[in-house]
Structure 1
Amino acid sequence: MPKITEIFFDCDNTLVLSEELAFEACADLANEILEKQGLTIRYTGEELISDFVGQNFRGMMMSLQAKFKFELPKDELESYVTKEEDKVIAKLLEKAKPCVGASEQVEKLFEEKKYDLAVVSSSALRRVRASIEKVGQDKYFDYDKVFSAATSLPKPTSKPDPAIYLHALEECGKKAEETVTVEDSVSGALSAVRAKIAVIAYVGSYPGEEKQSEMAQRLTELGAQVVMRDWSEFPQCLKEIEGRAITPAL
């Protein structure tokens, strides 16, 4: 197995506790869209997290349109995407906190200089930068090594599409087998697995032992190599991946 030289990190609920804040902000917009379509269903932020965690707002809207069989005009969809981004960033700048232990582990990696580091997210680039800047993690990542499925690609997409990971590999000059990523969601893990990147499944942001165990099982079944319940376990998880040959899932 080639030597691991690059570590990718998802942002939302992996580096920064942002999902709850983000979905709070976008629930009103999602419900506004559903009401305009004459639909009676309404979502809370928690329900949106349950159904769409790991997807960006555009991806969530595509899923809602498919589920409830309606289609927004492109300009209207883009207008909502911009509104959602502004609302979420405002909340993040006010309240975002780092995932417990994440900053300490990333700081150690940064100081060791053994690995190159990058952020690979579904969320809009403005939102990702706002998140990591708010919690003081931006200093650990080169400015041009923060990648967004919503912003960095010629055609916006969302995880579980592997496009953003393939893009990050190309921009960083790495092969998949030289890379490990940390992901917390089904869509994120699928995106990385489809790009043939080894996955550390982080479940520490999920509430309660039962939910963490459920997600650990799901992410392992999808192809994650190891499970991390707390960021203090990161060095051992990385060591485990580096110490064995990995057969990437197809």
Structure 2
Amino acid sequence: MPKITHILFDCDNTLVLSEELAFEACADIANEILEKNGIEQRYTGEQLIGDFVGQNFRGMMVSIQAKFNITLTPEELEAYVKEEENRVIAKLEAKAQPCVGVTEVLVRLFAEGKYGMAVVSSSALRRVKASIKKVDQDKFFPEDHIFSAATSLDKPTTKPDPAIYLHSLKVIGKEASECVAIEDSKSGALSAVRAGIPVIAYVGSYPTTEKQDEMAKTLLDLGAKVVMKNWSEWDDCIAQIEKMDSSL
């Protein structure tokens, strides 16, 4: 088996604490759509996270249309997608913070140069770039190694579709077995697993120990290889992956 040469990072709540900020903006727009269609239910950002974490806004809108039996025209959908992107980016540029401990790991990985590094996200490219720039992580990732399921593909999609991981592998010229993905959500982990990439399940951004334990079990059941509760565990987690790899 080839050795691990590249680390593929999810962005939201893996590199940057962005999910809560983003879902605030998503909830505002989702509620506008529900109200416009005469539907009484309203979402908080927290409720949207519970239902749709790991999906991008376009994927959420598809799910909401199916759930409430409403139809947006392609033009309406595109307008809402653009509006959501603008509102989320404004929130991120004002408030985004890095996930605890990740920047220290990135600094060391970048200095060592042992692994190539890329970002593979469901979120729109403008949003991903705004997130990592706000927290001063953009310097660690080459411009052509930042990938978005919403933007980088000919046909926009969202995780758990593996398309964005397959696309990123093609662009960086690597096999799935030469990479490791770090993912915090069900849809993200499934996307990487379906692309054949070993997954480290990062659960440190979940708010309680109970939720972290619950997500750890869920992501392992979906095919993740190792659980990381804090970025301080990085060396041990990547060593476990490489040990598994060498034993195959």
TM interval, shorter chain, is over 0.9
Give the direction of change, closer, same or farther, for the CA distance of 1:94–1:247 in structure 2 (3 Å limit).
farther
- Residues of 1 paired with 2:152 and 2:230: CA distance? 30
Partner of 1:228: 228
- Residues of 2 paired with 1:190 and 1:77: CA distance? 26
Which structure 2 residues correspond to residues 90-129 of structure 1 after superposition, within 5 A? 90-129=90-129
- DSSP-derived class of the 1:201 partner: strand
4+ residue segments displaced more than 6 Å: none
Amino acid in structure 2 at the alignment position of 1:26: C
Amino acid in structure 2 at the alignment position of 1:77: L
Contact 2:98 2:135 survives alignment (8 Å): yes
Percent identity over the alignment?
A: 68
Cα distance, 1:2 vs structure 2: 1.3
- Residues of 2 paired with 1:235 and 1:188: CA distance? 22
Contact 2:14 2:205 survives alignment (8 Å): yes
Partner of 2:206: 206
Cα distance, 1:114 vs structure 2: 0.6
Give ranges in structure 1 of 5+ residues lacking alignment. Answer: none
Partner of 2:174: 174
What CA RMSD, in Å, does the superposition of the two structures yield over aligned residues? 1.2
Contact 1:198 1:246 survives alignment (8 Å): no
**Structure-2-length-normalised TM-score:** 0.98
Aligned residues: 248
Cα distance, 1:246 vs structure 2: 8.4
Give ranges in structure 2 of 5+ residues lacking alignment. Answer: none
Cα distance, 1:245 vs structure 2: 3.4
- Residues of 1 paired with 2:176 and 2:66: CA distance? 32
- Residues of 1 paired with 2:28 and 2:177: CA distance? 41
Q: What CA deviation, in whole Å up to 9, does each residue of 1:56-78 have, x standing for no partner?
A: 10010011111112221000000
Q: What CA deviation, in whole Å up to 9, does each residue of 1:64-116 have, x standing for no partner?
A: 11111222100000000000000000000000000000111111111110110
Partner of 1:47: 47
Q: What CA deviation, in whole Å up to 9, does each residue of 1:173-215 have, x standing for no partner?
A: 0000000010000000000000010000000000110000000
**Structure-1-length-normalised TM-score:** 0.97
Partner of 2:157: 157
Partner of 2:132: 132
- Residues of 2 paired with 1:174 and 1:147: CA distance? 15
- DSSP-derived class of the 1:118 partner: strand
- Residues of 2 paired with 1:94 and 1:125: CA distance? 18
